[in-house]
């Protein structure tokens, strides 16, 4: 059986630790909570990455809009 005390460290994709826990596994209920927390952190990291990409693309979009506007004026 896997019952017992465990030290668990959760890491972001880049290897940075998110949080360290000392948990007791007695039938899986605590483990499910940890997995849910990890999934939420994974989603947070993904949202941060997507926001960063969006910001990078926003400047590209703005440059393209300026180019389109300039071309429209030339017509």
Question: Mind giving me the DSSP string for the chain?
Answer: ---EEEEEEEE-TTS-EEEEEEEEESSSHHHHHHHHHHHHHHHHHHHHHHHHHHHHHHHHHHHHHHHHHHHHHH-
Q: Tell me, what's the pLDDT at 22?
A: 78
CB of 40 within 8 A of CB of 19?
A: no
Taking the complete model, does pTM exceed 0.85, yes or no?
no
Residue 64 clears pLDDT 90, i.e. is over it:
yes
Q: Tell me, what's the pLDDT at 34?
A: 55
Summary mean pLDDT of the chain = 79
């Amino acid at each position: 059986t896997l019952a017992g005390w465990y030290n668990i460290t959760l890491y972001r994709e880049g290897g940075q630790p998110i949080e360290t826990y000392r948990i007791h596994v007695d039938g899986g209920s605590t483990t499910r909570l940890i997995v849910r927390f990890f999934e939420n952190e994974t989603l947070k990291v993904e949202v941060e990455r997507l926001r960063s990409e969006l910001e990078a693309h926003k400047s590209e979009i703005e440059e393209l809009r300026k180019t389109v506007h300039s071309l429209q004026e030339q017509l």
